[in-house]
Amino acid sequence: MVRITINGVEYQVEDDITILEACNRLDIPIPTLCHDERLNPYGACRLCLVELKGKNKLEASCTTKVRDGMEVETHSDKVVRTRREILDLLFSNHPEDCLTCEKSGDCKLQDYCYEYGVEKGSYLGEKRDYSIDDSNHFYTYDPNKCILCGKCVRVCDQLQGTSAIGFENRGFKTKVSTPFDMGLAKSTCVSCGNCVAACPVGALLPKRKIRYRAWEVKKVKTTCSYCGVGCQMYLLVKGNQVVGVEPAEGKPNNGLLCVKGRFGYSFINHTDRLKTPLIKRNGKFEEASWEEVYDLIVSKIKESKAKYGPNSLAGLTSARCTNEENYLFQKMFRALIGTNNVDHCARL
Ligand code: SF4
Ligand code: SF4
Ligand code: SF4
């Protein structure tokens, strides 16, 4: 442990952590645009600068480790002035689209500009004028709104392991790109959307069938039902409709999802979706209650077992069930019905 003083108050914190990590653990807010605790520190946005006693330059708190006796100011006049200047520079080079931008209300650049009193970019000059890449089926990339925080590139490389995107060009012309500028649709991108979830601004956005503002949706935490990994996710619910999905932090998925969990939710509101079980009577499916269905299943199993023995029956279970449900299913087949004919849809 080391002793450090932050904003005049002394704390004991673990050694070998950064000033930003120490502040996060102590609930002392520090703004960041490029930081993600799942990724290696990057030090690009400079918004997390803090003042250290005895040094006449500001240091990025995400890349500076705590030291015993260190005295840190996170919101001195100099720090706040510098952050305002950084935000001013970023917004000077940014479309003033907040009124219609889908990210409004959930955008870190917008939030920090509000917090630090940046009303408009004061550096007038050339603005970027790139076309929007909407070739991917599920999301769009608008380079004009990109603040070059590098989160998408690092998430794709360090967490997703696909490395489908990188930076091209230098300076003012830098933008996120695919190899040989082939466009997202033709790249190795697997459309997991993990870059989209990490983007702090409206540069990477999911394509929405139903439009919504961040404050209009209720976030309902749940477990993805597509496979047995158990990824944690939020369903975004507007009224009584699921209008989007966001990854949630969780042991199985570390804030990541795959393309199915992230974008395959439209079946939930689909008009063809079955809401009750069906029983075929006289060659036609008819709606039935669960009680009727279970009675029918039990009678058919008993009938088949009595006539042809337990091995006349086989059970196929599903990757969409939990481990516990799959365990119970095989137990029912082995112990109750008396057959080892149990398998799983993943091997069909
Ligand atoms: S990305 Fe953020 S700051 Fe930029 S226009 Fe959209 S809401 Fe405004
Ligand atoms: S959607 Fe996934 S694979 Fe495609 S660029 Fe983003 S993180 Fe990489
Ligand atoms: S697209 Fe978003 S996440 Fe990627 S560099 Fe630009 S602002 Fe950052």
Which sequence spans correspond to the domains of the chain? Answer: 1-126, 128-207, 215-269, 274-305, 309-348
Which region among 44-48, 97-101, 119-123 has the lowest average model confidence (pLDDT)? 119-123
Q: 202: Cβ below 6 Å to ligand 2?
A: no
Fold annotation for 128-207: Alpha-Beta Plaits (3.30.70)
160 Cα to the center of ligand 1, angstroms: 26
Q: d(Cα 131, Cα 153) in Å, to the nearest integer?
A: 19
Q: Indicate which atom in ligand 3 lies nearest the CA of residue 199.
A: 3
Beta partners for residue 168, in sequence order? 175
Fold annotation for 1-126: Ubiquitin-like (UB roll) (3.10.20)
Q: Which residue among 32, 136, 141, 151 has the greatest number of ligand 3 atoms within 8 angstroms of its CB, and so is best to mutate?
A: 151
Distances (CA, A) of 70 to 7, 9, 18, 19, 127: 11, 11, 12, 10, 41
- Taking every pair of Cα atoms in the chain, the longest distance, rounded to a whole number of angstroms, is 89
Q: Is 348 helix (H, G, I), strand (E, B) or coil?
A: coil
Which region among 34-48, 166-180, 296-310, 328-342 has the lowest average model confidence (pLDDT)? 166-180
What's the pLDDT band for 180 if we cut at 50, 70, 90? low
Per-residue model confidence as pLDDT tens digits over 287-324 = 999 999 999 999 999 999 999 999 999 999 987 788 89
**CATH superfamily for domain 215-269:** ADC-like domains (2.20.25.90)
Note the pTM of the prediction, 2 decimals: 0.87
Q: 33: Cβ below 6 Å to ligand 3?
A: no
Count of CB atoms within 10 A of residue 318's CB? 14
Q: d(Cα 6, Cα 342) in Å, to the nearest integer?
A: 61
Q: d(Cα 309, Cα 197) in Å, to the nearest integer?
A: 53
Q: 156: Cβ below 6 Å to ligand 3?
A: no
What's the pLDDT band for 36 if we cut at 50, 70, 90? very high
Answer whether residue 347 shows pLDDT above 90.
no
Q: 204: Cβ below 6 Å to ligand 3?
A: yes
What's the pLDDT band for 65 if we cut at 50, 70, 90? very high
Note the pLDDT of residue 342: 95
Q: 149: Cβ below 6 Å to ligand 3?
A: yes
Q: 147: Cβ below 6 Å to ligand 3?
A: yes
Note the pLDDT of residue 126: 79
Note the pLDDT of residue 228: 78
Mean pLDDT of 342-347: 84
